[in-house]
A and B are shown apart, each in its own frame.
Chain A
Amino acid sequence: EPEVTQTPSHQVTQMGQEVILRCVPISNHLYFYWYRQILGQKVEFLVSFYNNEISEKSEIFDDQFSVERPDGSNFTLKIRSTKLEDSAMYFCASSYSTGNNQPQHFGDGTRLSIL
């Protein structure tokens, strides 16, 4: 069964450094998402992406964050200057459409640790 893959599984970065989290969505999916889960808290929506542009973003997704689909297969989340509070598990998801019996499928996540 096709799946969403994320790399790396764990990323350790110094505060203030840039980090790029990578995702390969399911190949025929058109909608892409990033969520994050801070330890002990709920999974929170960050951003959705469709047709090469952001369709929705949360208030968490400020100017330090950006997303890109650099080629036909990868979907990346960049954090420009990381802060301690960016430490979390970051999940990528994809879906063929929004709702309409087409659920979002998630990757295994990237654990980001900011030192």
Chain B
Amino acid sequence: AIWMTQSPSLRSASTGDRVTISCRVTQDISTYLAWYQQRPGKAPELLIYAASTLQSGVPSRFSGSGSGTDFTLTISGLLSEDSATYYCQQYYTFPFTFGQGTKLEIK
């Protein structure tokens, strides 16, 4: 199976800040990578797919980059509503696998 490692596991930031979350993968997955946001008690929601394509309806302050084994989710101009856990996921091959999650706290 392909392993996904996210860093950091926990990030604290203030409203208006720019934050980046890293996702490293154990083998080349091209751009078959998605990012999800999960607010407490809610289902995950798709933010980014194909490493850098914004899902319809997702604010443009979210962006993704990378290919191969290194990927980044960037959130610019943080809002309080961005407080959530973020997951990366590879869909290059089965079994689909997720990163362990990055919890983002807004001060």
Q: Do A and B bind each other?
A: no
